[in-house]
Amino acid sequence: MKKENKTAGEMWNDPNFKARIKSELDKLIKSRNTRPIPNRGLRYRRDWYDRMEAVGALTPEYFLENIKSIWVKRSSISREFREVVEFVCWQAIQKTLIESEKVEDEQEKTNG
């Protein structure tokens, strides 16, 4: 039996996808918060994380709100933010699809 790929609309409405965005975003924030302290007299430069944090863009809602407009190429957010949103969402898509394939395989095995 051939498996059909999900459309962008189906993926956006998938609750597993939404949960994966949150988990991928949490991983990103955790990795940022565990970076080493800079040497004495030095400091980190502001980067995309700092800019997104300053405007309150590090939320799953922000990512879900903007990924649709990115997919249809109508996004008004900066390229820098767009790349981060795309990265996190692609990670979430990959993991959601892998998980759904595993579930489908298990269902096929149990159904014969």
The pTM of this model reads: 0.81
Considering the domain boundaries, does residue 1 fall inside one? no
Number of other CB atoms surrounding residue 48 within 10 Å: 13
Considering the domain boundaries, does residue 102 fall inside one? yes
pLDDT at 79: 94
Considering the domain boundaries, does residue 104 fall inside one? yes
Considering the domain boundaries, does residue 51 fall inside one? yes
Considering the domain boundaries, does residue 73 fall inside one? yes
- Read off the pLDDT band of 25 (50, 70, 90): very high
When mean pLDDT is compared across 49-53, 85-89, 93-97, the lowest value belongs to 93-97
Considering the domain boundaries, does residue 24 fall inside one? yes
Considering the domain boundaries, does residue 3 fall inside one? no
Yes or no: say if 61 and 67 are a contact pair by the CB < 8 Å rule. no
- Read off the pLDDT band of 3 (50, 70, 90): low
| Total structural domains within the chain | 1
**Percent of all residues in the chain with a pLDDT value above 90, rounded to a whole number:** 53
pLDDT at 63: 94
Considering the domain boundaries, does residue 2 fall inside one? no
CA torsion angle for 66, 70, 73, 76 (degrees, to 10)?
A: 40
Q: Which domain does 70 fall in, by range?
A: 8-35+43-111
